[in-house]
Structure 1
Amino acid sequence: MPQAFITGGSGFLGRNMITFLVNQGWKVNALVRSKKAAVTVENLGATPITGDLKNIEAMQNGMINSQAVFHSAAYVRDWGRYKDVYQDNVVGTENVLTAARAAKIPRFVHVGTEAVLVGGPP
């Protein structure tokens, strides 16, 4: 059975990716920050991995035996401090890539939305 690791699994894109992958016969591990998010991904058939985009070790452990990483977590609020947006969307993505490289994941898919560009050029 193929296996994937997903960030942002309790969000709109992530929930739909989990549903699709589980229906295709994949085992899915999903990074979660809260108990509420854990319940959401469990109800979709994924295994919650507690951590956040700052915790490279938690992500790397969740990626063990995965063939693909789907990164859909992002700071998408309408307003926010530049530091927070940068930390989640740039440093967070770098951390997911670092974990994926360390875990020797052959495929990395970065899924995004125009919502991260509010007020800025594409």
Structure 2
Amino acid sequence: MKVFVSGGGGFLGLAMVRQLVEAGFEVVSYSRGHYPDLEMPGVTHYQGNLSDYNSLLTAMRGCAAVFHTAAKTGIWGRYRDFYEANVLGTEHVLRACRELGIQYLVFTSTASVIYDGGGGGKNESLP
């Protein structure tokens, strides 16, 4: 079975790619940069940005499931960059899943994608 991993070059994404290959899946990785660690049997890597819907659609074609691990995290940067990567990018992944008939999506995220500069603890009860 062929599966798609967004953010395959990142910390979580690379671990997912390795586990999926070890489990016998054919993996399509999609990341912003080139990652030598992804050069392994069973992995096809596409370099692109989640804001480029057509590139994303091409990479996802033929996949039966999606693991969406890509995100812009951290506490520094422009709001627009976080919004484009984490909101619009996720919308593109969802739209591509619908368009391609992909029925299985595993979405991952982290509290660091919602940091607004204010203090205070955040936990799983946030919407």
Report the TM-score, using the length of structure 2 for normalisation: 0.84
Structure 1 runs of 4+ with >6 Å offset: none
- Number of residue pairs the alignment of both structures matches: 119
Report the TM-score, using the length of structure 1 for normalisation: 0.87
2:29 matched residue in structure 1: 30
Shift of 1:88: 0.8
1:98 matched residue in structure 2: 95
- Provide the aligned C-alpha RMSD in A: 1.7
Alpha-carbon distance between aligned partners in 1 of 2:42 and 2:109, rounded to the nearest angstrom = 23
Query: Does 2:71 correspond to 1:74?
Result: yes
**Structure 1, unaligned runs of 5 or more:** none
Match 1:61 to one of 38, 58, 64: 58
Shift of 1:6: 0.8
Judged with a 3 Å threshold, the aligned counterparts in structure 2 of structure 1 residues 49 and 16 are, in CA distance, closer, same or farther, namely same
The answer to whether the 8 Å contact 1:7/1:31 transfers is yes
Shift of 1:34: 2.1
How many percent identity over aligned positions? 39
Shift of 1:78: 1.9
Query: Does 2:27 correspond to 1:17?
Result: no
Bigger Rg, which one: 2
Shift of 1:115: 2.3
Higher helix share: 1
Alpha-carbon distance between aligned partners in 2 of 1:29 and 1:42, rounded to the nearest angstrom = 11
Tell me, what secondary structure is at the counterpart of 2:74?
A: coil
Tell me, what secondary structure is at the counterpart of 1:54?
A: coil
Alpha-carbon distance between aligned partners in 2 of 1:11 and 1:105, rounded to the nearest angstrom = 23
Tell me, what secondary structure is at the counterpart of 1:29?
A: strand
Alpha-carbon distance between aligned partners in 1 of 2:61 and 2:67, rounded to the nearest angstrom = 14
